[in-house]
């Protein structure tokens, strides 16, 4: 393997190449600098064979699965608050061809790759220090090149597990309970009568409410011009402490949304922090610079006071990936105690976590794609797919990607919404596509039609009955190049599966019972059951029993309606 280096600032480069096992190569990269410096971008290049490659995969990519040419490489970005350093090439049969990863998940870097037209190889680049870092005299990371032909899901899980040895995820059992979110259902139009909606949510089994953007301002024009002060708008929640207490009586926990980096021009603290900004976003609000200790202390104290005085159970901490060093950002200032934005973000998040758990050890903290990598897993316990309103396919891809890379952490869907005039089958498909994550619901429950309400009740109950398998089972996601045509989770002889294009589910001899859901948009599903004998029940998407019987053939077609379910168990 030929490796080349492109850099201006390094004094010496040491590359220790070793074969860890058959088809696994590790390259220890050590950079020694002449003096303490903020390193310039450093590129390390090499080639691998592209033989057998059918698609590319990286943790944050949704739709770009094709093989990029060498002159327009695909990228996987990584830093503490964004992404993961991993890029995979997968065969048509779903096996790993080559996966490249780095053990350093803090330093900004980019893994880039593309097909060499002349040779049919993959040309790789590891771009270290892709964003400004702290000063250093030495840098070390280990690059791992894994060419084992094993299932791609196994490869991704094993790679993520290596990071999680150093960054063990925070697990909170309550983070696996279904959530009601006010964002799509209300946006900023919150009302003192919100508790009527939350009673309906609680009756359906939702255990937490996230009060999203709007609680902190009387202005309903969207944007972040009023963020930063974080006082409750009395017109929407007249008494926040009493409100939280009432919601607790209903049987739900309460989380509040905060746009962590943003301070608006109409905020009471704009003048106070106008000189402590990384950059001005659009003239209406700026992004705070966490390198200033007074910025970090202000943010932490805001959250600490809210949790302590209002009795909150958790926080939705938004836009953390917007903490970035930009061209207009100040390089250094005498008031800064940290020169690296990345390091300052980690210090901020650690302080938030420590001080909030000191008040409430079971505090819920939600992070959202793209800030869902290994470092973030140590500061939060709810990872949510990025916003994709009513986009069921994108929600499916993002939640499955998160499940593959996040061990046993609680992965949440983007909030579910649908058109209230849509068919019940179409509405149900929103839920079916996020089946393998914790559902967040954001429709006005009291305004749902009878059919839509029955569907939501049925699927929430189904999800809760099968939660252990769904959230703890081993996830298998077929045909990632086609956005996962069949996904299933298996644990202790139980299988929960959803068809999104591939209608055949094969049950191995260890399976005692299975739930198979039809998200394909057309009627009918197939089961291959082998020698075991099963009974079956078929339900429509509102939970009405359609047919019951005994499986007659090893491969049998079941007349499962669109968005319906077939459940089988051994007899």
Spatial separation of the C-alpha atoms in residues 542 and 455, rounded to whole Å = 4
Q: In this structure, what token pair is assigned to residue 107?
A: 């330093």
Low-confidence ranges of the chain (pLDDT < 50): none
- The pLDDT of residue 7 is 58
Condensed to tens digits (0 to 9), the pLDDT of residues 118-159 reads 999 999 999 999 999 989 999 999 999 999 999 999 999 999
Backbone angles phi and psi of 400, in degrees to 5: -65, -45
Q: Transcribe 514-534 into DSSP letters.
A: EEEEE-SSSS-EEEE-TT--E
Pairing of strands 121-128, 86-90: unpaired
User: What does the domain layout of the chain look like in residue ranges?
Assistant: 4-166, 474-570
DSSP, res 331:
S
- The pLDDT of residue 492 is 97
Classify 319 in phi/psi space as left (phi over 0), alpha (psi -120 to 50) or beta: left
Query: What distances in angstroms separate CA 278 from CA 143, 172, 295, 329, 332, one per listed residue?
Result: 31, 33, 11, 5, 11
Spatial separation of the C-alpha atoms in residues 159 and 141, rounded to whole Å = 15
Q: Which residues contact 420 (CB under 8 A, 6 or more apart)?
A: 443, 447, 448, 449, 452
Q: Transcribe 404-432 into DSSP letters.
A: HHSTTSEEEPPPB---TTS-HHHHHHHHH
Reported pTM: 0.96
Spatial separation of the C-alpha atoms in residues 550 and 553, rounded to whole Å = 9
- The pLDDT of residue 361 is 97
DSSP, res 156:
H
Q: Which residue has the tokens 């999680």?
A: 164
In 3D, which of 486, 489, 427 has the Cα closest to residue 463? 489
- The pLDDT of residue 274 is 93
CB 179 within 8 A of CB 439: yes
Spatial separation of the C-alpha atoms in residues 229 and 306, rounded to whole Å = 12
Q: Using CB atoms within 10 A of its CB, is residue 199 exposed (0-12), middle (13-18) or buried (19+)?
A: middle
Spatial separation of the C-alpha atoms in residues 483 and 249, rounded to whole Å = 42
């Amino acid at each position: 393997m030929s490796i080349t280096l492109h850099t201006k600032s390094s004094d010496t480069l040491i590359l220790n190449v070793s074969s860890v096992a058959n088809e696994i190569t590790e390259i220890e990269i050590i950079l020694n600098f002449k003096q303490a410096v903020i390193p310039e971008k450093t590129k390390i290049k090499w080639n691998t064979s592209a033989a057998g490659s059918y698609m590319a995969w990286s943790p944050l990519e949704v739709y770009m699965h094709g093989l990029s040419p060498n002159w327009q490489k695909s990228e996987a970005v990584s830093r503490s608050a964004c992404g993961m350093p991993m890029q995979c090439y997968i065969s048509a049969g779903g096996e790993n061809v080559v996966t490249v990863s780095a053990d350093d998940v803090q330093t900004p870097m980019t893994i880039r790759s593309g097909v060499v037209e002349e040779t049919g190889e993959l040309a790789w680049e590891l771009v270290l220090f892709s964003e400004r870092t702290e000063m250093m005299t030495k840098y070390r990371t280990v690059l791992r090149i894994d060419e084992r032909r094993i299932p791609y899901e196994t490869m991704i899980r094993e790679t993520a597990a290596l990071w999680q040895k150093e960054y063990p995820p925070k697990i909170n059992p309550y983070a696996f309970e279904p959530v009601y979110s006010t964002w799509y259902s209300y946006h900023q139009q919150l009302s003192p009568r919100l508790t009527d909606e939350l009673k309906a949510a609680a009756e359906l089994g939702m255990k937490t409410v996230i009060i999203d953007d709007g609680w902190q301002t009387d202005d309903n024009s969207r944007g972040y011009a009023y963020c930063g002060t974080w006082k409750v708008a009395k017109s929407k929640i007249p008494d926040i402490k009493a409100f939280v207490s009432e919601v607790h009586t209903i049987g739900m926990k309460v989380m509040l949304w905060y746009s962590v980096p943003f301070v608006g021009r109409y905020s009471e603290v704009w003048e106070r922090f106008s000189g402590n900004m990384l950059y001005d976003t659009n003239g209406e609000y700026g992004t705070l610079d966490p390198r200033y200790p007074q910025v970090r202390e202000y943010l932490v104290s805001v959250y600490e006071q809210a949790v302590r005085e209002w009795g909150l159970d958790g926080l939705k901490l938004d836009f953390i990936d917007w903490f970035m060093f930009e061209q207009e950002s100040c390089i250094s200032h005498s008031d800064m105690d940290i020169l690296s934005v990345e390091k300052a973000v980690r210090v901020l998040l650690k302080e938030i976590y420590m001080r909030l758990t000191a008040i409430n050890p079971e505090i819920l903290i939600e992070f959202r794609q793209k800030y869902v990598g290994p470092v973030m897993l140590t500061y939060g316990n709810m990872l949510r797919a990025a916003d994709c309103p009513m986009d069921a396919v994108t929600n499916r891809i993002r939640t499955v990607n998160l499940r593959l890379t996040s061990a046993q952490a609680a992965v949440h869907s983007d909030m579910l919404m649908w058109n209230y005039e849509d068919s019940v089958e179409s509405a149900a498909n929103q839920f079916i596509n996020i089946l393998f994550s914790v559902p967040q619901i954001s429709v006005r429950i009291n305004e749902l039609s009878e059919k839509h309400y029955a569907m939501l009740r049925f699927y929430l109950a189904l999800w809760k009955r099968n939660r252990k398998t769904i959230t703890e089972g081993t996830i298998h996601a077929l045909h990632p190049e086609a956005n996962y045509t069949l996904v299933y989770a298996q644990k202790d002889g139980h299988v929960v599966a959803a068809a999104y294009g591939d209608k055949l589910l094969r049950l191995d001899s260890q399976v005692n019972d299975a739930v198979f859901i039809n998200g394909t948009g057309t009627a009918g599903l197939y089961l291959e059951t082998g020698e075991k004998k099963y009974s079956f029940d078929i339900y429509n998407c509102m939970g009405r029993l359609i047919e019951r019987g005994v499986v007659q053939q090893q491969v049998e077609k079941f007349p499962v309606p669109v968005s319906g379910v077939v459940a089988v168990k051994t007899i």
